Structure 1
């Protein structure tokens, strides 16, 4: 029977991912099968989980998914020895208005699955106050159980002793304390960590993290704190309709933000996926019946995309007779032009009139609920789609017919409606699930 734990923290940026990867790899070195999940709408961390465990990781999201869908997704951990769910942001951070089964907070998943929480606490600039924070998180919400804490970035043995004593007085277990160690820092960029597939030495970095954490954290105590867990039979599957029978999927460093559960759902429904690389100047498979351009980092590769004549010509030819859909970065590439951070304007494919710029950064972040005004691949007009938007582009023009009426998590209508023209459609949000 697998044992489940949630790795969370009071805030972002304190080391949740590093600890999750280190624990997973350390236990794997001991011969245990480890399954990871990511709570919340993060497209990057699941690839790191897979690198650490050798098993595919998927997102679970209480705002966008119902309990049956979450149960279906986590059931893949039934044959594991230990299951780790890595949280997003702080433990209780979610949106103000409840979604399908919660607010998107990591605490929702912990309570729903009955898994205890291991908190990563960074006590930089404080000492006993770290215990007050941990105690507050422990007591904030009935049903969420704290297993203990791992201290990260402690400044000195004296600093560690002060924090440990306070935590012990509060009745909170301390599994270990990590001094600062630059060698296990994961590189970052504006949308989060640099992707796992872009880091040639990722395996060595995870091994070093596992070694370091193994020296400073009681791995046996952490494992004993996990809750025995029997996966519940799911009443329903993923509720995802593939956009076509054969899907041409852009896939490279510029087009990589795809939720793993979406691809699995497409394949489970019998769809075939044929990947191609726009950065390698490849066009979509002309035998496919739909083309999908996911998000990613087109702004970092705008010059290469603009110069990829075969890709652009192939996509235009495909769109003359078949649907093409782009999400976020993919939507920007379907547009007329993209201006990079240096102010250089690059011509895109021109299937839509969208123009965006990264020279004037503006953050767009949050859950989205879209009511389709017209069909898009896999979904009919009137469908209600739940997704998430995160980018730093400024929209200069969005002149085409709106694709949807889009609301944020509070119910407010937003301007990023998506677009449609001919066979081309695009959205700024990444699709997570359809309301059923």
Structure 2
């Protein structure tokens, strides 16, 4: 496989505008005729769908806490045939967990170093001028293994503000790759788990085209492309995760949308047939499927619709009599007895597990998870260790079924969301990323 040059778009912190910069770059380069491969550093569920919309090419997560070297290599190999890689960081460039996982602490800086990608640092210069250079210089020198290709100044208030900020960057020896004037309309809608899903955006293509035009006007695209590079790697025969069944009925709609792209790609590459269906449209899973998989998403926003979906519920129950069903996070909630929404309304769910969850009694659950299975789940035997990530606000009110796993966070502390099993049905609050291989 030929090495594809790449770079990583990051920032000192969340909320600096790096996602709009990322989407604008992807679309601008694609409009120039390049095959652009997007990646996301970290366990983000939402951004890859926006990347796909911007670049026309599936985006994949790269995560050093959850993925070993073999899997990192297999995921990065999805760039084959591309002309350029543009990856998006998560949180601040150096932010990660305290204790290492499979290959690292999960920071975007680790991803950049392992892949050999220079970093384009997006700096929010609101309320400062030359002082912004001190922040950028700190990022440029904090880890000598991280190469900073240059900075994009964001939310610049005036030409004078830009001149002063550029002066500071020049004195610090940092290259300015672009300067974006402050514009209140360059934001993406958000909700409690971050951005809304790409499929829910009222006019996503037009929004991304606007970002691309804005960046084309204010950023040196040629300089950014020229800065891209990568680490030369030997060809690898490493493969993505294998499918848990041959025919997989996958719930797919606005309520069930969060499955890591590398898993789906691995299932397809392994010969599995993925058969989508929509619980919100009251569709039953294909009766010939070997496995029904309910991904995460936002069932708490669709409680009444799901409660009324009798065809879906009947088909799911029929399948579970003889064949496995698995749910992750929102899918796990939908397999339970009931879901209570933010207004306190109780909605009947599938009843295949005794789980009762409440979004009215909100509690934030966020972080990496290492699970050791007490019971088998689709694709994995009892005793297997799995790495994943949990991100939701729902509270468990009742969970009477047998725990599926012992689950700990990135620091080894046990978490009470163990998942559960009843008969052929299993569920977890964490989203599976990878098996934790020795």
For the criterion TM > 0.5, the same-fold answer is: yes
Report Cα offsets for 1:144-199 as digits up to 9, x if no partner.
11001101111222222222111111001111111122333211111121111222
How far did residue 236 of structure 1 move? 2.3
Return the alpha-carbon distance in structure 2 between the equivalents of residues 88 and 66 of structure 1: 19
Return the alpha-carbon distance in structure 2 between the equivalents of residues 268 and 80 of structure 1: 19
Return the alpha-carbon distance in structure 2 between the equivalents of residues 50 and 123 of structure 1: 29
Which residue matches 1:86?
88
Counterpart among 24, 42, 47 of residue 26 in structure 2: 24
Q: How many residues align?
A: 435
Which residue matches 1:299?
300
Please state whether the residue corresponding to 2:92 is helix, strand or coil.
coil
1:176 and 2:178 correspond: yes
Report Cα offsets for 1:97-138 as digits up to 9, x if no partner.
001111110011111011100001111222222211111111
Which residue matches 1:147?
149
Distance change (3 Å), C-alpha of 1:228 and 1:412: closer
Counterpart among 33, 36, 45 of residue 35 in structure 2: 33
Return the alpha-carbon distance in structure 1 between the equivalents of residues 359 and 80 of structure 2: 44
Which residue matches 1:359?
360
More divergent stretch after superposition (374-383 vs 198-207) = 198-207
Distance change (3 Å), C-alpha of 1:228 and 1:423: closer
Which residue matches 1:263?
264
Which residue matches 2:15?
13
Which residue matches 2:326?
325
Which residue matches 1:115?
117
Report Cα offsets for 1:355-406 as digits up to 9, x if no partner.
1111121110000000000100110000000000000111111121000000
Which residue matches 1:72?
74
Return the alpha-carbon distance in structure 1 between the equivalents of residues 37 and 149 of structure 2: 19
Root mean square deviation of aligned Cα: 1.3
Show the 5 A alignment for 1:167-316: 167-227=169-229, 230-234=232-236, 236-238=238-240, 240-316=241-317
1:159 and 2:161 correspond: yes
Structure 1 length as normaliser, TM-score?
Answer: 0.97
Return the alpha-carbon distance in structure 1 between the equivalents of residues 55 and 319 of structure 2: 38
Distance change (3 Å), C-alpha of 1:232 and 1:46: farther
Return the alpha-carbon distance in structure 2 between the equivalents of residues 399 and 140 of structure 1: 49
Return the alpha-carbon distance in structure 2 between the equivalents of residues 277 and 28 of structure 1: 31
Structure 2 length as normaliser, TM-score?
Answer: 0.97
Return the alpha-carbon distance in structure 1 between the equivalents of residues 130 and 150 of structure 2: 16
Which residue matches 2:103?
101
Distance change (3 Å), C-alpha of 1:231 and 1:189: farther
In 1, are the aligned partners of 2:115 and 2:230 still within 8 Å (CA)? no
User: Where in structure 2 are there 5+ consecutive unaligned residues?
Assistant: none
Runs of 4+ in structure 1 displaced over 4 angstroms?
228-231
How far did residue 228 of structure 1 move? 5.1
In 2, are the aligned partners of 1:71 and 1:232 still within 8 Å (CA)? no
More divergent stretch after superposition (226-235 vs 148-157) = 226-235
How far did residue 298 of structure 1 move? 0.4
